[in-house]
C-alpha cells in the first residue's frame, strides 16, 4: 500500500510499505515528532525487518541517530540511502545529511567522542532532565548559545498519550496549531517563526547536551 509520510521527514510525498507496516510507521514518526528518538529507533528498526531495503526507513533511522548524537550510526544510514535510494531527490537529501554530520561529535570505539574541546561531551554532562541546581552541583550550567535548555522559559507538564504525566514540554505556536517539544530536545536548536517550529539538530556549542562547564 502507499502511505503518506508526514512533513517532518522532509523526504518524499509517499513510500511503499506492506499494509501491516503502516501502524508501525505512524507510531515511529509520532515518536520522532515528540522527540522520543530512542523509542523511534526501535520502531524504525522493526519496520526495517518488515520492509527491508526501504530508503525512507533508513533515512529516518539516520535522522533519529543524528538527534541522539550518534554520528557514526547516522552516517551509516545516510550513506546507505545516498547509494541505494531509487530516486535522485532522496539520494541528494541523504548526501546533504551526510555533509551536516561534520558538525556533530564522532563517537570513538571506546564510546567517547573524537572532537575538539566539547564544552559538555555526551556521557559526561548532566542528563537532559536534570534541574539547574543538580547540574550546578556537577559543575555545569545551561548552554547560552541559543539552544533549548532547562533555563528556557515555558516548560510545563502536560498529558500526552503514551508519556508519563511527569514529562515536561515546551510549546511553540505554528500555523494550524501548536508544536510540542519534550525535554529530549534540550540541547537542540529550535527554529520557530510563528508559522512552523523545527528542531534543526544538536547545538554545536554544547553538542546537544544543553549544558556547558561552568
- Could you tell me the domains of the chain? 2-103 (1.25.40.10), 132-213 (no CATH)
Q: What is the mean pLDDT of residues 164-179?
A: 84
Q: What percent of the chain has pLDDT over 90?
A: 15
Whether the per-residue pLDDT at 15 is higher than 60: the answer is: no
**Per-residue pLDDT tens over the stretch 176-188:** 888 888 888 888 8
**Per-residue pLDDT tens over the stretch 76-90:** 998 999 999 888 878
Whether the per-residue pLDDT at 112 is higher than 70: the answer is: no
Residue count of the chain: 214
Show the DSSP H helices in 51-187 as ranges.
Answer: 55-67, 71-84, 88-100, 132-137
Say if residues 74 and 41 touch (Cβ distance below 8 Å).
no
d(CA 35, CA 21): 21
Q: What is the mean pLDDT of residues 64-85?
A: 87
Whether the per-residue pLDDT at 197 is higher than 90: the answer is: no
Report pTM: 0.51
Three cell numbers written together for 17: 510499505
Amino acid at each position: 500500500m502507499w502511505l503518506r509520510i508526514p512533513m517532518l521527514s522532509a523526504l518524499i510525498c509517499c513510500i511503499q510499505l506492506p499494509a501491516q507496516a503502516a501502524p508501525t510507521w505512524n507510531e515511529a514518526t509520532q515518536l520522532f515528532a515528540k522527540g522520543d528518538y530512542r523509542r523511534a529507533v526501535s520502531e524504525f528498526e522493526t519496520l526495517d525487518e518488515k520492509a527491508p531495503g526501504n530508503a525512507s526507513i533508513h533515512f529516518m533511522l539516520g535522522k533519529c541517530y543524528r538527534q541522539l548524537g550518534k554520528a557514526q550510526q547516522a552516517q551509516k544510514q545516510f550513506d546507505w540511502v545516498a547509494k541505494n535510494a531509487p530516486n535522485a531527490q532522496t539520494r541528494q537529501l541523504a548526501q546533504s545529511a551526510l555533509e551536516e554530520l561534520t558538525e556533530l561529535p564522532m563517537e570513538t570505539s571506546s564510546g567517547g567522542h573524537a572532537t575538539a574541546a566539547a564544552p559538555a561531551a555526551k556521557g559526561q554532562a548532566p542528563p537532559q532532565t536534570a534541574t539547574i541546581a543538580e547540574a550546578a552541583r556537577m559543575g555545569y550550567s545551561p548552554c547560552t548559545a541559543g539552544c533549548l535548555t532547562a533555563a528556557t522559559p515555558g516548560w510545563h507538564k502536560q498529558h500526552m498519550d503514551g508519556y508519563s504525566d511527569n514529562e515536561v514540554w515546551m510549546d511553540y505556536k505554528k500555523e494550524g496549531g501548536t508544536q510540542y517539544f519534550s525535554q529530549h530536545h534540550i540541547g537542540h536548536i529550535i527554529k520557530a517563526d510563528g508559522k512552523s517550529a523545527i528542531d534543526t539538530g544538536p547545538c554545536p556549542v554544547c553538542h546537544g547536551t544543553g549544558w556547558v562547564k561552568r
